[in-house]
Amino acid sequence: MRYKGSVYRPPSEARSLIVQVTYGCSHNTCAFCSMYKAKKFELRPMNEILEDFDMARQAYSKVGRIFLADGDALIRPAADLERILEYIAEKFPECERVTCYASPSSVHKRTPEELKRLRERNLTMVYMGLESGCDEVLKKMRKGHTAADIVAAGQKINAAGIELSVTAISGLGGVELWREHAMDTAAALSAMKPAYIGLLTLMVEPGTPMYDWVREGSFRLLDSRQVLEETALLVAQLDCEGAVFRMNHASNYLTLRGTLNEDKQAMLQRIHSAMTGRTDLRPEYFRAL
């Protein structure tokens, strides 16, 4: 397989075949994110994509899952995506699911009919970043969308029958906005009702505006205890019946997993146990993106 630059994928795609259909992120301005800073956003030539699938077919006897990288695969024209999905179905009839990252912009670009056609061709799930449900935080972080925009994009994905996995970032409101961040993020997730919710924890990466803000003191980071307090508030407010909630990312201080709403009390107990020192946290030096 041929990859350009660093390739990122959600933790749950660790066993998937990964093929880049775009390079980089079409937005690439979020103040906390360094993932695709070194890459110019481009659509990968279609012939190269199909060649990669041919190579993978020769190399692997069974491919159960495929993840279409990079940051915003759904931004490709719908006809391209249909061609890619049809090629996957032809080459990998055993493939159970195909997933990709999507941005609110790319979801809004696709019509409901296009999304349904992609679903029919086995686009099973998309991963989308909410980051925060608080508009003040989103604006500061240069996300380029309001919470209402992102919620509408998530609802559009649900309506097409595509599973939705949404990530938010603990600590993104800093000391000033942690309460608003927790409450509004819970409200946005509850309105979107994703099948999966992933909560990461803010890491400060060199080369980002966030790195400069922290150094100059204009953004004050939460410490691990404050992150847990914020997480407890968020989880307590969530109303997403049936959604799988996961904090299993290397950036998280505490690992947590449960199904909402039935496991909410058990998850809150685990957070409180960590806050009182009865559950171990991941040490700062083991945290990573």
# of chain residues touching ligand SF4 (CB under 6 A): 10
Site for ligand SF4 in 255-284 (CB under 6 A): none
For residues 125 and 66, give the distance between their C-alpha atoms in angstroms, rounded to a whole number.
11
Token duo for residue 206: 């060199």
Site mask for ligand SF4 (CB under 6 A), range 72-111, x = bound: -------------------------------x--------
Token duo for residue 220: 């004050």
Residues paired with 206 in a beta bridge: none
Four-residue CA torsion sign, 219, 253, 145, 192: negative
**Distance of closest approach, residue 29 Cβ to ligand SF4, in angstroms:** 6
| 233 touches 173 (CB < 8 A) | no
- Which amino acid does the sequence have at 243? A
Residue nearer to ligand SF4 on the CB measure, 2 or 37 = 37
Residue nearer to ligand SF4 on the CB measure, 204 or 236 = 204
Token duo for residue 4: 């350009």
Stretches 29-37, 208-216, 218-226, 239-247: which one binds ligand SF4 (CB under 6 A)? 29-37
Distance of CA 88 to the CA centre of its chain: 23
Site mask for ligand SF4 (CB under 6 A), range 37-76, x = bound: ----------------------------------x-----
Which residues, including other chains, have CB under 8 Å from residue 80's CB and lie 6 or more apart? 21, 43, 46
- Binding ligand SF4 (rule: CB under 6 A), the pick from 18, 19, 21, 30 is 30
Site membership for ligand SF4, residue 27 (CB under 6 A)? yes
Q: Which residues bind ligand SF4 (CB under 6 A)?
A: 25, 27-28, 30, 33, 35-36, 71, 103, 129
